[in-house]
A and B are shown apart, each in its own frame.
Chain A
Amino acid sequence: MSERRIGVYICYCGGNISDYVDCERVQDAIKHEEGVVVAKTTMFACSDAAQQEMIDDIREQKLDAMVVASCSPTLHLFTFRGVAERAGLNPYLYVQVNLREQCSWAHTDVPEKATEKAVHMVKAGIAKARLTEPLQKTRIDTVPRALVVGAGISGLRAALALSDLGISVYVAEKTDKIGGRVAEMGRMYPHDRRGSELIANLVEEAQKRENVQIYTQAELTEKSGSVGDFTVKLNVKGESIPLNVGAIIVTTGFNSYQPADGEYAYGTDGVLTLPEFKQLLDQCEGDLTYRGKPVGNVSYIYCVGSRGSSQKENPNDYCSRYCCNAAMHASSIAHDLSPGLHQFHLFRDIRTYGKYELLYQEARRKGALFIKFDDDEPPRVEKSNGCFRILVKDVLTNGEELDIESDLVVLVTAMEPRPNQPLNDVLKLPLGLDGFFKEIHPKLRPVETVIDGVFIAGTAQAPRNSAESVASALAATSKSAALLKKGYVELEPLIAVVDKQACTWCDKCVESCPYSAIGKIGSGEKEVAEINAAVCKGCGCCVPACPQGALGVRGYTDRQIRAMIDAMEARNG
């Protein structure tokens, strides 16, 4: 019989798990497993109340191991190790079972089978927990330098903020120009400052800093090492430059949606995307003119390329977030240039959230008319007698068909992810289904990625305006600085161990180790392998190399793996 005292908590995740997995059945199936003294279900295991309950159980029931069956360990492994630690339990006596990502969400079609699988998974977790042992972390020093990939407004702002904190920064910009999209912009909302000026100020400041180095025509080609101590290579104008950095922030920006040929008559002279229209506004002095002719009427069509609207394959499902505000602002600028201008905004929904509502009010005050069309009946754009006719059914007047004459048609276009396969190949960052870089968790870890020490910010991550991009860039800066200013990272103690009894020193493990972490040491009358704890990364490459089975990785030992297999075999099969 096991002498362990294990607490097991099965999380509903507010229905994300319990809608498909019968958590009470899982609880019933595991409560008599060897060593289990507490078996509970919980609405949200990560909630403060549930964490406190675990702490109380650990103390009152004298638990010496804990299993939480909830979401992926990428999300909450550290949360629950923290719970253990706060209760005085060594954090390595904790085991997480990935019941959400690898069970309930993957098998929403077969709840009965999902429940059976969940039972197996939790039993395997308990079997592993039964064989856990208390462990201590090892520390390694971090390199006080960072790499920022992409010199748009997010990258530049992150670089300056890192510099302020005393962290040296390298910025790698793929193009030959610094400043990204914002550098091409004229007046921007909400303060009407010119994008080009904002960028010029940032660049001027960066150039004053001794600890900021910006490379243009520079691409990241290699990355090795690990959090706190990466070795990277940049290809700068054909020359390979090696750098040693502790953190990497990726701010590679977005692409503007290019409508399909003929989408709302795009390709016809006088049909512009929003960025093209903003450039036109920026170039106009005095009245708004297009190709030398005064403009009397402008029609805007919203959500082009966003929210499932596109004539291309695989339309973007998301709202691009910045465009309603940007179109309102452009409309105001157009009015200021030509106060007699007639402006028609053909929209599906207006999303001038938060303080940007004032932009909407201002556009209306300046005489802009708003016409709501149905998702299924988008406006039609025709060209006749030198001007455009826009035919649209106005939802708010019971479907009355309007026929609007316009000199210009502005397509309020989406933000799209910017494909960059070579960079993805180096960084191996996951992309979301929308094609943008994906954070670990939108609320809890919004700028961190699954690759420790690599952060994302700006529009490389999601559609957002420049203010929001900068906010995320500064969040990524804070996370990087928190990592690097500490001076060290604590490394998992889950490294290789040698069974000295079984080891006969044949040196096969030495050949297998990619880090040269294995040496020789005397043990009694024989020589055996010894692991250098500071160098071993816990990959386990030495484990199958040993003919005696004398090597294992802590947390993944031979006994644990076999016990997990055994636990999954019996019953419920």
Chain B
Amino acid sequence: MEKGGGAAGEGFRPRILVFSTESISDIGIDLAGSSHMHYPPTAISIPLPCSSGIRPDWILYALGHGFDGVFVAADGTDCPFVPDCTGRTAKLVDQAQNLLRENDIKPERLKMAAVCSVCAESFQKHMKSFFDALKGLGPTRKAG
């Protein structure tokens, strides 16, 4: 079972794994960096070609291995591969949330939003708000 929020402690800094995409959301995340827009440094990306290629079990794996939240920085309608990328990625996120429930992990630890190649500001906002939300949830690491 997950620990409750109470176990988090004041110094808890949730670690966020971002699944980003090389041709779209990474460009937006890069723009946030080159504009020196600060976001929590515990957020770290693994770039993929497309957000519709994320395996739900990777998300479960990340939450079982040191990460407190997973953020899918989806291609959205800008996807260079598939026009229905938003729907496809959303479906994977649904599957992953079910997988998390089955493993007693709160589905709120997984968040998805489209991050376009110029969405620096929205990425920054997402990171900050997700970080705060995860702080409330506390660490995912199972007790012991």
Instruction: Assess the A117–B29 pair: CB atoms within 8 A.
Output: no
Instruction: Assess the B52–A541 pair: CB atoms within 8 A.
Output: yes
- Partner-binding segment picked from A99-107, A152-160, A370-378: A99-107
Q: Could you tell me the distance between the alpha carbons of A544 and B53 in the complex, rounded to whole angstroms?
A: 6
Chain B residue numbers with a CB within 8 Å of A124 are: 44, 46
Chain B 50-93, CB-CB to A under 8 Å as 1, else 0, gives 10111111100110011100000000001011100000100010
Within 8 A of B (CB), among A449-467: 450-451
- Contact check: which of A120, A226, A541, A568 meets B50 at CB < 8 Å? A541
Q: Is A430 an interface residue (CB 8 A)?
A: yes
Within 8 A of A (CB), among B1-50: 15, 17, 22-24, 26-27, 29-39, 41-42, 44-50
Instruction: Assess the A105–B29 pair: CB atoms within 8 A.
Output: no
Instruction: Assess the B53–A539 pair: CB atoms within 8 A.
Output: yes
A-B contact count (CB 8 A): 140
Instruction: Assess the A540–B36 pair: CB atoms within 8 A.
Output: no
Residue among B30, B54, B88 with max Cβ neighbours from chain A (10 Å): B30
Instruction: Assess the B22–A428 pair: CB atoms within 8 A.
Output: no
Chain A residue numbers with a CB within 8 Å of B22 are: 73
Q: Is A556 an interface residue (CB 8 A)?
A: yes
Tally B residues with Cβ within 8 Å of A.
Answer: 49
Known: A544-B55, A573-B15. A74 touches B38 (CB 8 A): no
Q: Could you tell me the distance between the alpha carbons of A431 and B116 in the complex, rounded to whole angstroms?
A: 12
Instruction: Assess the A101–B82 pair: CB atoms within 8 A.
Output: no
Instruction: Assess the A121–B65 pair: CB atoms within 8 A.
Output: no
Instruction: Assess the A562–B61 pair: CB atoms within 8 A.
Output: yes
Chain A 103-115, CB-CB to B under 8 Å as 1, else 0, gives 1111111100110
Chain A, Cβ-Cβ closest to B58: A561
Q: Is B98 an interface residue (CB 8 A)?
A: no
- Contact check: which of A105, A543, A544, A569 meets B66 at CB < 8 Å? A569
Chain A 534-560, CB-CB to B under 8 Å as 1, else 0, gives 000111111110000100010010100
Chain B, Cβ-Cβ closest to A105: B33
Q: Could you tell me the distance between the alpha carbons of A543 and B52 in the complex, rounded to whole angstroms?
A: 9
Q: Is B122 an interface residue (CB 8 A)?
A: no
Q: Is B118 an interface residue (CB 8 A)?
A: yes
Q: Could you tell me the distance between the alpha carbons of A343 and B21 in the complex, rounded to whole angstroms?
A: 57
Q: Is A283 an interface residue (CB 8 A)?
A: no
Instruction: Assess the A541–B53 pair: CB atoms within 8 A.
Output: yes
- Contact check: which of A72, A108, A113, A539 meets B81 at CB < 8 Å? A539
Q: Is A433 an interface residue (CB 8 A)?
A: yes
Chain A residue numbers with a CB within 8 Å of B34 are: 101, 105
Instruction: Assess the A541–B36 pair: CB atoms within 8 A.
Output: no
Q: Could you tell me the distance between the alpha carbons of A561 and B58 in the complex, rounded to whole angstroms?
A: 8
Instruction: Classify chain A: how many residues form its interface, as a range.
Output: 35 or more
Chain A, Cβ-Cβ closest to B124: A106
Q: Is A68 an interface residue (CB 8 A)?
A: no
Chain B, Cβ-Cβ closest to A495: B49
Known: A106-B36, A450-B117, A539-B81. A564 touches B46 (CB 8 A): yes
Please give the distance in Å from B54's CB to the nearest CB on chain A. Answer: 6
Chain A 417-436, CB-CB to B under 8 Å as 1, else 0, gives 00000000000111101000
Instruction: Assess the A543–B33 pair: CB atoms within 8 A.
Output: no
Q: Is A358 an interface residue (CB 8 A)?
A: no
- Contact check: which of A106, A430, A556 meets B33 at CB < 8 Å? A106
Q: Is A116 an interface residue (CB 8 A)?
A: yes
Known: A98-B30, A544-B54, A573-B15. A565 touches B49 (CB 8 A): no
Instruction: Assess the B65–A569 pair: CB atoms within 8 A.
Output: yes
Instruction: Assess the B30–A107 pair: CB atoms within 8 A.
Output: no
Chain A residue numbers with a CB within 8 Å of B49 are: 494, 538-540, 553, 556
Chain A residue numbers with a CB within 8 Å of B23 are: 450-451
Q: Is A566 an interface residue (CB 8 A)?
A: yes
Chain A, Cβ-Cβ closest to B39: A106
Q: Could you tell me the distance between the alpha carbons of A108 and B36 in the complex, rounded to whole angstroms?
A: 7
Q: Could you tell me the distance between the alpha carbons of A167 and B96 in the complex, rounded to whole angstroms?
A: 49
Known: A98-B30, A106-B38, A428-B116. A553 touches B46 (CB 8 A): no
New A-B pairs, 20, CB < 8 Å, besides A565-B58, A568-B17, A568-B67:
A98-B26, A106-B37, A106-B41, A110-B41, A116-B41, A117-B41, A428-B78, A428-B116, A433-B35, A539-B81, A541-B50, A543-B53, A549-B55, A561-B46, A562-B58, A565-B17, A565-B62, A565-B66, A565-B67, A569-B67
Q: Please name 16 pairs of A and B residues whose Cβ atoms are closer than 8 Å in the assembled complex, sorted by A.
A: A73-B22, A101-B34, A103-B33, A103-B41, A124-B46, A428-B78, A431-B118, A540-B50, A540-B53, A541-B50, A541-B52, A553-B53, A558-B55, A568-B67, A573-B15, A573-B66
